Amino acid sequence: MSTETLTITDNRTGKQYEIPITQGAIRAMDLRQIKTGPKDFGIMSYDPAFANTASCRSAITFIDGEQGILRYRGYPIEQLAEQSTFLEVAHLILQGELPSAPQLRDFVNHITHHTFIHENITRFIDGFHHDAHPMGILVSTIAALSTFYPDAKRIFDAPARALQSHRLIAKTPTLAAFAYRHSIGRAYAYPDNDLSYTGNFLNMMFKQTELQYRPNPVLERALDVLFILHADHEQNCSASAMRGVGSSLADPYSAMAAATAALYGPRHGGANEVSVRMLREIGHVRNIPGYIKQVKAGEFRLQGFGHRIYKNYDPRARIIKRIADQVFEVTGKSPLIDIAVELERIALEDEYFISHRLYPNVDFYSGIIYEAMGFPLDMFPVLFAIGRTPGWLAQWQEMLVDTETAIARPRQVYIGSGQRDYTPMAER
């Protein structure tokens, strides 16, 4: 019979330790008892980038990276992308269950009634330089919202938490669209609460002189599905930032500003933007082999490829590839898609990519769709942030109510100088 323990022999002392294994993990604190003597601090685990460290127990998102499986609250991403809406998924992620029809009506109503932002925030956006990256504007304005809602400090009050979550899901698209309108010098288009969540976002982005903006239903649905695909992805860099900052008991606006900042980088949510820049730079399918050669020589990475968890095809990329065809029927085919498909084909047959288990990720095809829909490149990570908002909030909430939560505070292995005496300036 197998025992759910791990036996460790410390070869320094010859002592043996039996450490419990729970749900496939040992507790790093159980290693601390392993000492060479009473003055020894005990063993720590060293894991830069948390490659094999679980920082929490979570019931939100399941990923099997070997098999390319992604589920929110147990529901396969393929079924949600096919059958649900983004707000239905947001409810699922936040509350743990798919909403009934009245629950969904209520939830949509709450979100819809928080889409407006205080006029002082619009003045704040006005103050940014015309070419400010919208992600920089988003990070700053999300943080600024915290100063407008002092009740956000009541983080252990469940209704107050729900209210901030509604506000953040509702206002992020408004901030995003206003950041874009500011960058092109166009008047802000205010929310239209008669439209769907995604339809209203398109309205705030693209409305011109028409009395009421009518989104194209195919594009509206495609963007809604893209938001679904981005809604959560367990303990990624930005979710960890959300939990890390939230663990100091900061308000959710401050924590989400940190999460958004984490998403900004090209190794995370910024990859969709650089991925399209890469496809443009490649310019033609005939240039792909040369480009791949440079990637293999270590000159740069293939953007939108590879993942810390997925060592098989990212299931989101597969769905996005299908959506692309629907979008192109409305917008016309993007010339970049042929380059992307050929790049994927060549890479997936190449020994380097096979041996490194590198496949297209969510950012490989999403940017091509966003571009075809008329979004400028620097809005791509912002679109990722809109989709990811419910996930960040669910992670934050789960962290707060977890009885095991304490302030996030990793250890270090100190490699600096030992104690030395201060040298007076004249003797240095």
Quote the crossing angle between the two packed helices 380-401 and 271-282, to the nearest 10°: 150
Distance CA 50, CA 110 (A): 37
In sequence order, which ranges of 265-350 are alpha helices (DSSP H)?
271-282, 288-296, 315-331, 335-348
Catalytic residue, chosen from 268, 284, 325, 350, is 268
Closest CB to ligand CMC among 89 and 276? 276
CB of 321 to ligand CMC, least distance (A): 15
| Cβ–Cβ < 8 Å for 344, 235 | no
Q: Which of 361, 366, 389, 397 binds ligand CMC (CB under 6 A)?
A: 361
Q: Which residue has the tokens 């649905």?
A: 221
What stretch of H or E contains 88? helix 86-95
Candidate residues 134, 246, 252, 269; the one interacting with ligand CMC per rule CB under 6 A = 269
Residue nearer to ligand CMC on the CB measure, 139 or 170: 139
- Per CB under 6 A, the segment of 22-30, 336-344, 355-363, 418-426 that binds ligand CMC is 355-363
Can you tell me which of 362, 382, 386, 399 binds ligand CMC, judged by CB under 6 A?
362
Q: Residue 402 gets which letter from DSSP?
A: -
Stretches 92-100, 207-215, 300-308, 407-415: which one binds ligand CMC (CB under 6 A)? 300-308
374-393 positions binding ligand CMC, by CB under 6 A? none
305 makes contact with ligand CMC (CB under 6 A): yes
- State both tokens at 148: 């407008």
Task: Kindly state whether residue 318 participates in binding ligand CMC, applying the rule CB under 6 A.
Answer: no
| CA 152-158-160 angle, 5° bins | 30
d(CA 194, CA 428): 71
Among the listed ranges 52-60, 157-165, 174-182, 262-270, the one in contact with ligand CMC (CB under 6 A) is 262-270
Least distance from ligand CMC to the Cβ atom of residue 337, Å = 18
By CB under 6 A, residue 307 contacts ligand CMC: yes
| HSE toward the beta carbon, residue 412, CA cutoff 13 A | 3
| 182 carries an active-site annotation | no
Q: Is 363 a catalytic residue?
A: yes
Residue type at 136 in one-letter notation: G
Site of tokens 């790049």: 343
State which of residues 113, 267, 280, 322 lies at the interface with ligand CMC (CB under 6 A). 267
d(CA 152, CA 146): 7
**Residue with token string 């040298």:** 423
Binding-residue pattern over the window 229 to 258 for ligand CMC, x denoting contact by CB under 6 A: -------x----------------------
Residues serving a catalytic function are: 268, 307, 363
Question: Which spans of this chain sit near ligand CMC (rule: CB under 6 A)?
Answer: 236, 267-269, 271, 295, 301-308, 356, 358, 361-363
